[in-house]
Amino acid sequence: MAEADPQKTFNVHEAKTQFSRLIDRAHAGEEIIVAKDGEPWARLMPIEPAAKRRRIPGRWPELSAIPDSVWSRPLSDEELTFIDDRPEAERR
């Protein structure tokens, strides 16, 4: 395994005591190596920011193919009973 840069390498004990500082450095773009018994063991590195997705209207055209009357009609008593499974006495 290649030698790690000693200024960016911290043993486990040191990393535990300075963890907050190390993650701040990683967040700033630095790559930090955590070593166990002098051997590089893990890497702290920044996470790439999530790309903001732009909302695209009409993305699911199959939903727009359902007539509005299906979405806006009142539910029948049978459908309401199916949804609300409480005993009849508690519903009112």
Separation between Cα atoms, residue 87 and residue 11, nearest integer Å: 62
In a domain? residue 1 = no
Q: How confident is the model at residue 72 (pLDDT cuts 50, 70, 90)?
A: confident
Residue 23 belongs to some domain of the structure: yes
pLDDT of 90 > 90? The answer is no
Over range 26-48, report the average pLDDT. Answer: 92
Residue scoring higher pLDDT (1 or 19):
19
Residues 40 and 65 in one domain: no
- 37 and 65 in a common domain: no
Distance from C-alpha of 63 to C-alpha of 16, rounded to nearest angstrom: 51
Instruction: Count how many residues are written for the chain.
Output: 92
Number of domains in the chain: 2
70-84 exposure pattern, b = at least 16 Cβ within 10 A, e = fewer: eeeeeeeeeeeeeee
pTM of the model: 0.48
Strand partners, 34: 10, 42
> In terms of residue numbers, what domain contains 77?
61-85
Q: Are 8 and 33 in contact (CB under 8 A)?
A: yes
Does residue 73 lie within any of the structural domains? yes
